[in-house]
Amino acid sequence: MAAPISVSAVEGYRLWAETWESTPSPIAALEHRALLPWIEALTPRRAVDVGCGTGRWTARLSAIGVDCSPAMLAVAARKEGLRGRLAVAEAAALPVASASADLVLCALTFGHIRDQAGAMREFARVLEPGGTLILSDFHPSAAARGWRRTFQHDGRTYELENHPYTVPELCGMSRELRLDRVEEASIDEPERELFERAGRPDLFEAACVTAAVLLTRWARV
């Protein structure tokens, strides 16, 4: 089997954009299952969804969506209510006024960001005092065990860039953000079907023993 082709986040999501939502992904399914209760508990006045992709959380939160992938934003713009509320930008240079948001969400994106400290500073900048930052991501421990962020396109396997980090490292990236909650989520029975649909039911049991998604919640001090 040929080795995956390594690509940047921008190039990878350009290739993946049209099929991202229809691709069976245990990680995306687990992240949705784990993050949904956090999202449902929120009533933000103005939210910014950084790394919004195809807008899966953007519409639910009535958020401004920001992503570095024009291809993913083009898919998001087809959804009702999102056209005109999307912007192409890097997480470390958000086109959002300071102290203008009470919620910043960054879902399954932070590991793709090269300037992670710059992104954390930007999240703090655009949040008003008392505002909330929520990060969900591919768990660094999964990356350490050899898991990769891959997808198929035209019969080839591509590996997206991923920059693992630790929670203590996150805490050191901004003095203006206080960590309030950490949750680690693992693959479980709700995701079994996705392994079967992908033709890899043999991987399910082994996948269950590793924390696959990391969720953290922060307060702007």
Radius of gyration of the chain (CA): 17
**Model confidence at 45: pLDDT above 80:** yes
pLDDT tens digits, 109-150:
999 999 999 999 999 999 999 999 999 999 999 998 999 999
Token pair belonging to 128: 């008003």
Calculate mean pLDDT across residues 30-44: 97
**Rounded Cα gap, residues 156 and 30, in angstroms:** 25
Q: How confident is the model at residue 1 (pLDDT cuts 50, 70, 90)?
A: low
Mind listing the domains of the chain with CATH numbers? 5-220 (3.40.50.150)
This prediction has a pTM of: 0.96
HSE value, Cβ hemisphere, 13 Å, CA-based, for 4: 16
pLDDT at 216: 98
In the chain, which residue ranges form alpha helices assigned H by DSSP?
A: 9-16, 26-40, 58-61, 70-76, 116-126, 140-144, 167-171, 189-197, 204-207
